[in-house]
Amino acid sequence: MEIINLNLNNYKEIRFNTAVALGNFDGIHIAHKKLILEMVISGKKSGLKPSILLFSAHTKQTLEGKSPSVLTSIEQKIEMLKELGVEVIYKIDFDDKLRKLSPNQFVTEILINKLNSRLVCVGFDYRFGFKASGDSNLLKNIGKKYGINTIIIDPIYKDNIISSTRIRKLIEEGKIETANDMLGYEYSIIGKVVDGNKVGTKLGFPTANLDPITNYIIPKLGIYETNITIGDKTYLGATSIGTNPTFNADTLKIENHIIDFNDNIYGEMIKVGFIRYLREEIKFDNIDDLKQQINKDIDNIISRN
C-alpha cells in the first residue's frame, strides 16, 4: 500500500486513473466495509487503482476546533484499509482552504485535478463542500458532467442504521457486544503500558496500565472481559475502566489484568479488545471484599472460554 500526503498545491496523480471511496471512515464498521469493497471491486473491473481519500484529522477538528473521540487510530484505519484491498491512501489536511471549496470545486480541484478519479463511492448520507452543502446525489450529478461514475451505497440496518455515531454511543453505554456486532470486530484500544501505583500487584492481581495512543472513545466505567494482544500473542484479560473508588482515587485509568501472564511489559504496546461488560465499578468497604470480587470476575471470564 502507498500513502501519499497531499494538499491543494503539492500533488497531481498522473500515473493512473483512480477509484476513490470518500468519507471519514471512523471505525471502518460493516457498512464502511461494504462501501470500500464495492469501490475496490468496481474499480478493478474498470482498470482503476482502488484508493481512499482520508483527512489527516477528523473534519470536526477544523469545524468545531476540538479533536473528537474516535473508534480507530489512523494506524488501525490504515491497516484495515490495506486488508480490504485499498492500494493507495491519499491523506489531506482538512484545512480552512479545503473547507471553503464549493461542491463543484471539490470535484474539479480534488477528485479530478488531484486524484485523477473516474469512479467515486460514497454512502447515502455523504456530505461535502462548503458548509456540507453537497450531498451524494449532487456529487453524482456533478460527476456525470466530468465523466466520473458515482456509486451510492444504501444504509445497512441492525434495528437502526449502522453508523459511527451510533457505535460510539453504544460503547459509551457499555453495550460492547452490540457495538462489536456493528463493527464486525472487537472494539480495541491500543496504547503503551505505563507505571501505575502498583495497587493491583499488592492485591495479587498485577495490572498493565494503558496510555492510549489516540483520543479513543472510552467505554462506560466498569469491568470488562477483554482480549489483550502483546506482540503476536493474545491473552484473556479483565479490564477495569474507572478511578479505583475503594482507594478514594479520582484519576481515570484503564487497568488490565492479563490472566495467566506474569511477564514485565512496561513500555510495550498492547491492544485491548473489549468482549463484554461485566459489572459496574464498586466502592468496597474493605480490601478483602475487593479481592473476592476480582476473583469472581476472573472466574466468570474463564468459565466463558
CATH number at residue 276: 2.40.30.30
**173 domain-assigned:** no
Same domain assignment for residues 109 and 36 = yes
**174 domain-assigned:** no
The stretch 145-160 carries a mean pLDDT of 92
**What domain range is 239 assigned to?**
186-303
**168 domain-assigned:** no
- pTM higher than 0.85, yes or no? yes
Cell output for 290: 475487593
Same domain assignment for residues 155 and 30 = yes
**288 domain-assigned:** yes
Query: Domain ends where: 160, 177, 202?
Result: 160
**181 domain-assigned:** no
Question: pLDDT (tens digit, 9 = 90+) per residue, 185-226?
Answer: 999 999 999 987 766 666 778 889 999 999 999 999 999 999
Whole-number Å distance between alpha carbons of 293 and 295: 5
Confidence of residue 303 (pLDDT cuts 50, 70, 90): very high
Same domain assignment for residues 144 and 197 = no
Same domain assignment for residues 9 and 148 = yes
Same domain assignment for residues 100 and 205 = no
The pLDDT value recorded for residue 97 is 86
CATH number for the domain spanning 51: value is 3.40.50.620
**Number of domains, the chain:** 2
Same domain assignment for residues 254 and 299 = yes
Question: pLDDT (tens digit, 9 = 90+) per residue, 105-148?
Answer: 999 999 999 999 999 999 999 999 989 998 999 999 999 999 99
Same domain assignment for residues 46 and 100 = yes
The pLDDT value recorded for residue 6 is 86
Average pLDDT, the chain: 91
**233 domain-assigned:** yes
Confidence of residue 64 (pLDDT cuts 50, 70, 90): low
Question: pLDDT (tens digit, 9 = 90+) per residue, 15-40?
Answer: 999 999 999 999 999 999 999 999 99
Q: Catalogue the E-assigned strands of the chain.
A: 2-6, 18-22, 49-55, 88-92, 117-123, 127-128, 134-135, 149-153, 157-158, 160-161, 187-194, 208-212, 222-230, 233-242, 253-258, 269-279
